[in-house]
Amino acid sequence: MDESQALAAFAAMSQETRLRVVRLLVQAGPEGMAAGAIGEALGDATTSRLSFHLTHLEHAGLIRSRRYGRFIIYSAVYPALAGLIGFLMKDCCQGHPEICTPALACVCDPAATRKA
């Protein structure tokens, strides 16, 4: 991921609803969620407002949509999210991976996240 892609991703997630959508879709897994289910989970998003946010995230490459019958299913683009983390952590270790290990371990370890 280059700097312009990272800036677009951060800009897309710099709004509360969009950040909540990304986190929700990460939790939903690769199967994703229908737009209506996302709206229900968020509780306060109107259909047009939610559509605006989903489009913004999709243009940033953080989520993707697919049609399933009458539904539009959205899912997180894990490689893009991993690329964003990689962009942030790229130079952290400067040849010493042991420096970054604690920071990267907490990403997927809920117990480590609770301790922080």
**Mean pLDDT to the nearest integer, 46-65:** 94
pLDDT of residue 99: 72
pLDDT of residue 106: 57
Specify the range with the lowest mean pLDDT, choosing from 20-24, 26-30, 79-83, 88-92. Answer: 88-92
**Mean pLDDT to the nearest integer, 58-70:** 96
pLDDT of residue 86: 83
* Cα angle: 20, vertex 37, 35; to 5 degrees: 80
Per-residue pLDDT band at 116 (split at 50, 70, 90)? very low
**CB within 8 Å of 74: residues ≥ 6 apart:** 21, 25, 32, 33, 34, 35, 38, 54, 58, 63, 64, 65
Domains and CATH numbers, the chain: 3-115 (1.10.10.10)
Per-residue pLDDT band at 60 (split at 50, 70, 90)? very high
